[in-house]
Amino acid sequence: MTPLLLVVGAYLLGAVPFSYLLVRWLQHQDVREVGSGNAGATNVLRAAGRVPAIATLLLDIAKGAAPVVVARALDQPAGVEGAAALAAVLGHIFPVYLGFRGGKGVATAAGAFAALSPPALGGTALLFALTLAWRRIVSLASLVAALAFPPVYWLLGDGTREASPVLLGTATAISLLVLVKHRDNLRRLMQGCEPTLGSKPTT
């Protein structure tokens, strides 16, 4: 029962909509109805300001990392770790508490990736920062980092062990999920009309 409880718990934790709760509490608005309409930290920045956005980012990262940390603490196999990581991201994107309409999963994926492999997450975080500094487009930086994580993990492992094929598959699935959720951003990037950081969002 432990693996099943871990995976279900990971989904329910991932589904906790911190962006929605903070904006509802502070601004009495639905974060999905303002700005870009995305239930994520970037849109919280637009709707409620810097401090709530940072809080959202940290909480979304934590809910991605926690299930993997717990699975490892309980000495679960790689398959359970991977399933818990994927469940947390799915919870964020398709939250049962909000009618399955959530965010794009970037911060929660980053938390899961950080728990799976801190060295690989460090490398992809650097790519995120460099891309953001270069183009000032959060969606582009997020996609570069998400898609880079699987190959970087394969090269570096998790810091103590070589890369697990099972976890590599999990990381790839999460990266592709993030890519699919950014399909509108990809269209705007190709059209050259994706908003930059601090500009008015395109809905």
Condensed to tens digits (0 to 9), the pLDDT of residues 115-133 reads 999 999 999 999 999 999 9
- Note the pLDDT tens digit of each residue in 144-199: 999 999 999 999 999 888 999 999 999 999 999 999 999 999 999 999 988 887 66
Please name the residue that has the structure tokens 């980092």.
145
What's the rounded mean pLDDT across residues 103-122? 96
Q: Is the pLDDT of residue 72 over 90?
A: yes
Return d(Cα 49, Cα 190) in angstroms, integer.
29
What's the rounded mean pLDDT across residues 2-27? 95
- SS3 state of residue 104: coil
Please name the residue that has the structure tokens 């509490």.
25
Return d(Cα 201, Cα 125) in angstroms, integer.
23
pTM for the model: 0.91
The residue type found at 51 is V
Q: What is the pLDDT of residue 199?
A: 64
